[in-house]
A = this chain, B = another copy of it.
Amino acid sequence: MASRTTQILEAAARVIARRGVRGLRVEELAAEAGVSTGLIYYHFKDRTGVLRHTLEFINDRAERYTTARDPDAEPLGPREELEQILLLELQDTQEVRENSSAWGELRASAVFDPVLREDLARATLVWVQEVAALLGQVQPMAPASALASAAERLTALLEGLSMRWLSGGIQVDHARALMQGAVEAELAGLKPR
C-alpha cells in the first residue's frame, strides 16, 4: 500500500500538472490528497519541501517508466535503449504529462529560486551522464567530450520540445519525430570518419 507521503506526492504531481508550481496551493494539495494541510507540513516542513520531494518523486517515477522492461522480452541494444529513454518522455499519458509539466515548471521556477537550483542541477547531471553513457555504447570510438556535448544537446532539446508540446505548439507525434531525427543526427556526428 502506498504510504501517506507517497499519496501526497502523487497528488502534488497532479496538482502541479494542473496548476503549475506557481499555482500549487498547499490547501488545494491537501484537498487533492484527501488530507489536512497540517499533515502536509508535518511531513514536508514547508511548501518548498513539498516541491523538492516532488521533484525527487517524479524523477524516480520517470526512472521507472523509462527503464522498466518486460523480463521475458529481448534485451534492448544500446541504440534502442537510448531512443527509449528519450522518446518515452514524449507520450500523451497521464503520468508522462504530469512528469513533464512538473519538470518544466521546476526548471522555470529554478530560474528565480536558488533553493531548487541545486536539486535540479544534480538531477540533470545524472540524466545527462546516463544518456552520454548510452551514446558511448553506440559509438565506442567517440571521445568523452563529444559524448557529453551530444548528451547535453539531446536532453536540452527534449526539454525544449516538451515545453512546446505542453504549451500546445506542436503535436506529440511531431515532437517524437523531431527527437528521433536529432538522435540520428547526433549519432552521425559521433561516427568515426
Copies of the protein in its oligomer:
2
Q: Which residues of B contact A168 (CB under 8 A)?
A: 110, 114, 117, 121
The SS class assigned to the A binding surface is: helix
Are B120 and A167 touching (Cβ within 8 A)? yes
Contact status of A20 and B189, CB under 8 A, knowing A121-B168, A157-B153: no
Question: Residues 154-193 of chain A: 1 if any B CB is under 8 Å from the residue's CB, otherwise 0?
Answer: 0111111101101111100000011001101110110000
Q: Please name 4 further chain A to chain B contacts, defined as beta carbons within 8 Å, in addition to the given A107-B108, A117-B167, A188-B189, sorted by A numbering.
A: A105-B108, A107-B163, A124-B164, A124-B169
8 shortest A-B CB distances, which residue pairs?
A: A160-B160, A156-B160, A108-B108, A20-B112, A110-B167, A159-B160, A111-B166, A157-B157
